[in-house]
A and B are shown apart, each in its own frame.
Chain A
């Protein structure tokens, strides 16, 4: 226990000794310095006149956006349907691809730790470190604007996410159950179906619903880069500064997100 002596020779208890304290303060100092430097960079590239003016602008936009243009909703039904499809079909497509990747990536099911596993891990890392909006950007420039590009973007982005969670679940399964099934003389595939699949089913269901919920959120903005869904309307309304329409679209998105979260919570409760 670190104890130091005061000038009068009295012993005083301290939580840390002098070196630890110094290192700690040095850490704080570095953090503050880095933060201040970063802040300076941001500040330099900001037009502060606009910022001071921000409350007025915000109030101005707010007053123009209210009330939302309710009858615009008739033009939103198709984009809403598209958004739902992008999220749902994208999730399904992603799961179809994520399952094999997960089995190849899990260290206890991969056919080869040296060759196959690294490839599967690279697929996982590269698909999940790139935002779905960037994937959409890329796909729009490859296959053209539309729902298909958005769907593919959501699917690709979700592969890594789902496969990562799934392969972690596979690595955590109870090996005794596998042993028991192998001991009956079951083949490799039978062990898979009887020993592994039942054990990861709850995780799989949870991951699917979880990702679907996230995909609902993400698919609402894909339209900004031309990949279909309600984001297209948002983009065109923003371009013409039609704030009442923007307000309605944001409201619709909010409702969709809340509904998505509610549905996924219900489904998760029913399955697990």
Chain B
């Protein structure tokens, strides 16, 4: 469904963030993107919806060449790619409901969005999603009144209301505590399964990634180093990606039942 061919990004400073990355993701597959800081994980995700313009290469989503689109076409393509951010990136001074509905901005016209006159179907869908992530009662609270975990749930609802084919998830748990991190990861993966969504989850925490995804991609200095099942992620592989370190504790199967009696 998503094809990435020879994707390359060189920043004006001369840093080569991505070097001819090839990747193909089928419908409904959730993959984790791991790698050290500066490996180009964020750049890769942002090149897909062109928040960062790739230098060369091609991205195709459902047969449509994203890299060749003009401004209007790009807007339409972005609607099909929901994005979830590390520090939630909610509009802090708007209410939860407005934040969720902002996911529909690509579908409604300017004046409707200015006066907050969304179609009833959008409003209903927003309520449904808020209920699904457990925040229905918070709908009219301002985003800056919420806790980190709650904000990330709003972020998830905002991405999903776009009715996307693909989720781009940038470090969803980096600002959260371990328990909330797991709840959020589980929620994302469950929702992807329910809706048969493909997702690229860019994540630091290797142990957490292995717990939830079917496929792991390892990135180092802008190049693909590893592509396989979580089980194949051995100490040797981790050493090639991150460098020398004692990896035993990370590859050990973590029993997640004792950690959370999730409310999700």
Contact = CB atoms under 8 A, between A and B. Distances in A.
Interface of A: 174, 176-177, 179-187, 189-190, 193-195, 198-199, 201-202
Contacts of B76: 185
B195 interface: no
A187 to B, nearest CB: 6
Q: Among B81, B91, B168, which residue has the most Cβ atoms of chain A within 10 A?
A: B91
B105 A186 contact: yes
Interface in B91-140: 91-94, 98, 102-107, 110, 113-114
Contacts of B90: 177, 180
Contact of A183 (B81, B91, B94, B98): B81
Given A190-B113, A193-B113, A194-B94, A184 B103 contact: yes
5 contacts: A177-B90, A180-B90, A184-B103, A190-B110, A194-B91
Counting from the closest, the 6 A-B pairs by CB-CB distance are A185-B106, A180-B89, A185-B78, A186-B105, A185-B79, A183-B83
Interface residues of B, number: 32
Contacts, number: 80
A179 B51 contact: yes
A198 B89 CA distance: 13
B165 to A, nearest CB: 13
Contacts of B85: 176, 179-180
B158 interface: yes
Given A177-B90, A182-B51, A184-B103, A194 B113 contact: yes
A80 B85 CA distance: 54
Contacts of B87: 176
Given A176-B85, A198-B94, 14 more contacts: A179-B51, A179-B85, A180-B90, A180-B91, A180-B155, A181-B91, A181-B102, A182-B51, A185-B75, A185-B76, A185-B162, A186-B113, A194-B105, A199-B93
B105 A185 contact: yes
B19 interface: no
A185 B162 CA distance: 9
Q: Among B85, B89, B162, which residue has the most Cβ atoms of chain A within 10 A?
A: B89
Interface string B192-230: 000000000000000000000000000000000000000
A211 B104 CA distance: 37
A184 B93 contact: no
Q: Among B104, B105, B110, which residue has the most Cβ atoms of chain A within 10 A?
A: B105
A183 B45 CA distance: 11
B177 to A, nearest CB: 21
Contacts of B106: 184-186
B8 interface: no
B152 interface: no
Q: Among A176, A186, A195, A202, which residue has the most Cβ atoms of chain B within 10 A?
A: A186
A189 B71 CA distance: 13
Nearest to A181: B102
B67 interface: no
Contacts of B113: 186, 190, 193-194
B27 to A, nearest CB: 21
A184 B103 CA distance: 5
A193 B91 contact: no
A122 B91 CA distance: 32
Nearest to B76: A185
